[in-house]
Structure formats: C-alpha cells, structure tokens
Structure 1
C-alpha cells in the first residue's frame, strides 16, 4: 500500500518536473522487473479512477522509455560498428554464427539421444552433458526415474481377460453351453 502511494507521488513530481520540497527533478531510476507491470495486477481495481489513470500513464511512460532505450542501444551499436573494419565485422559475424552453430548441434545431439533411448520428447531438453556418452548416461538415469513413476501400483487381476473356454459358433451352442 505504501509503495503504491509513493509511486503516485513520484509520477506527479516527474510530470511537473519538480520535487515536492523544491529543488532538482529526480533522476530516472533503472527499470525494475515488476511481474504486474504489463498486466492488470490483482490489486489494480482497488486504486480507484485516479489511481488507474496514474497507473496507465506510468505504464505508457515505461513502455515509451523502454522503446527509447532499445533505439539508443541500437544507435550505440551502430556508432561502435562504424569505426570497425570489414574484417572485424566479418570476424564478429563468424563468431556469432559459430556460437549459434554450437548451440544447435548440442540441441540436435540431445534430441538424437532422446530418440535412441526412447525418452519422451518433452524430456529431451532436460538432458545434461557435453558428449554423447554423458547424454546417454543422463538419459538412462532419467528413464529409470520415469519408469519408476509410471509403474502401476495395482497388480493385474488374473481372473479378468480372455477365458479358457472356446467361443461358441452359434446361438444354439451358446445356449447349450450355458445350461451344462
């Protein structure tokens, strides 16, 4: 509750450009990860009309600042790349492609081991190891855990299922077998 009121005061001071006690406007704080920042929080309906307006304005400003930050980072990267030679740009591109290739090869190997060991597809990402042998050992241990959890606790009833008597070929045979 206290934090919400403080945010409203801070929003008003930022909009007016002055601190409540006078002096310099506050410096913007780095964005904090707020799980309810982009979605309606569970306490939003308790804010009232003015609180909801302030919250929407804050979220709009936050989105705008994030877009400005992304644009500024792109410009910084552009300025850094401006002074690089073509060889440096090519070597950076090769390094990023090699990193991507390594990640894709590791992912493909995990899926290959999962298929070979008949491990469910959803568990392939959980395999850990850098070599095929390590991945196979991890898959074996994971399979043991999965099989332990999937074993039925109830033993089958031997009296159920297909009986030993042959099926009758006609209705008259079935009636005579019933009365025997």
Structure 2
C-alpha cells in the first residue's frame, strides 16, 4: 500500500488519501511512531470539547467601544453622503445658471442680427426707390447686395405691372330721372308756395 501513496520532496511519503483523493501529508516534527492504542473505555465518557467562541458579527455582540466606533463611522458616512449630494446640487445649479446665461446671450445676439438685417433691407429699399412695403422681399448679406436685389425687383415690377386702367367714363344724364322740372329754389318761401299750390289742386 505504501507504494501507491505519493512522495513529497519535503514531507516524505503521504500517510493516506482522503475521500476526495487528496493525500494526507505528515506534519513536520511529529513523532514517527504510530498512534498509541486506544485506552480501554472507562465508565464515564470524556466531556465534549467546548466550542471556540465565535467572533462577534452583529452590533449587539460588539462591546461598548465597537458600538461607539460603528456609530461614529455611520454618522461620518451619512455626513459625507449629505455633503456629496449638496455639492452635486450646487454644481448642477451653477451649470444650469451658466447655460441659461449663455442661452440668453445667444437669443439677444440672434434678435440683434434680425433687427440689423431688417434695418438694412429698409435702407436698401429707400435708396433704390422701392416701396418700403416690399423691403421684406429683399435678400442679401450686405447693403450693396440688397440694393442690387432691390433694383432687380423694381425692374421686374415695372415690366410686369399692367398699364393703369383708364378712368371710368362718366355716365350720360338720363332725362327721365328727376321729373325734368327746373329747380324752384332752395328758400323756405318757395317751398311754402309749392306746398300751397299742391294743396289747392287737391
């Protein structure tokens, strides 16, 4: 059986093999003699060995110093978490404020550019003699480009504009209207006399 057991270069030949197949090596400095024979059992069995005390794992099993240290560590962690959250909130608020300021500046720039472009179109329309109501139709980046576009638009309008229609003729008077009687005048006396004449006829 000894021939089947492996040999270790330091410990020598294995004492045996465990169930899982790993060898059992001898302990260095141990006696080379075999185990002494078991003594004959006496009337009372030996007391079972007392189990080793487990290390404290819960807060209730810690001593006063351990509990204090644990509470201090927990309080420090809570304070650090709170400080981290506050710092993140401040950074976010600062970034939002910066972004908002940048957006406001960008909007102001865009509005000023639109106003300047509109004023430039009106100036080009005025210089070229184009009606100001058509200034919005002009396109160009500079005043010279806008004036050239206004001149082209003015030429197109002149060529495409139809000839102005002649004034409508005045209608000929119709003698059947108004009874053909001469105006008797506009005074009260003439009106009273006309009334009396009609009344006497009836």
Give your verdict on TM over 0.5.
no
Larger relative CO (CA 8 A, sep 6+): 1 or 2? 1
The structure that is helix-richer by fraction is: 1
Q: How does the TM-score come out when normalised to structure 2? A: 0.33
The structure with the larger Rg is: 2
Q: How does the TM-score come out when normalised to structure 1? A: 0.37
